[in-house]
Amino acid sequence: MFIRNKLHMRRFIQLVERDGTELLDTKRKSLFYIVAGNDDLYNKLYQIYDFDKRVMRKECVNSNQLYDETSIKLLTLAYVLIKENDDSLINLFQGLDDFNFELALSAIKIRYMGEYE
């Protein structure tokens, strides 16, 4: 699994533990992996995820005002992964820089292959 740095891993573990995510819940883990690896998304965590209801806030995907283009693409990918909707994933990858492309691919691996460390 692609880990940006120790902070990325620490954030990921923190989010999984805070949520009480089950070991085999690759949907939430893929969301938390993306959020933990992107500073903009991590700083807006409570606009993205409701820990009480344990759901991703759908409105964050449609809120272009709050996020830059990369964050919007990563949020859309996270939403697709958590909702099992395979709508044109390829469009989400266009325009991502190398780091965020690797981040997105690793989240897909977590979701569909259960690969994480």
pLDDT in tens, 29-78: 999 999 999 999 999 999 999 999 999 988 887 776 677 888 888 888 88
> 69-83 and 98-113 are packed helices; what angle lies between their axes, rounded to 10 degrees?
10
CA–CA gap between residue 54 and residue 23 (Å, rounded): 15
Please state, in angstroms and as integers, the Cα–Cα distance from residue 42 to each residue in 6, 15, 75, following that order: 15, 10, 11
> Is the pLDDT confidence value at 85 over 60?
no
Tally the C-alpha atoms within 13 A of residue 92's C-alpha that lie toward its C-beta: 25
Domain range annotation of the chain: 6-113
pTM: 0.74
- Give the confidence band of 17 by pLDDT, cuts at 50, 70, 90: very high
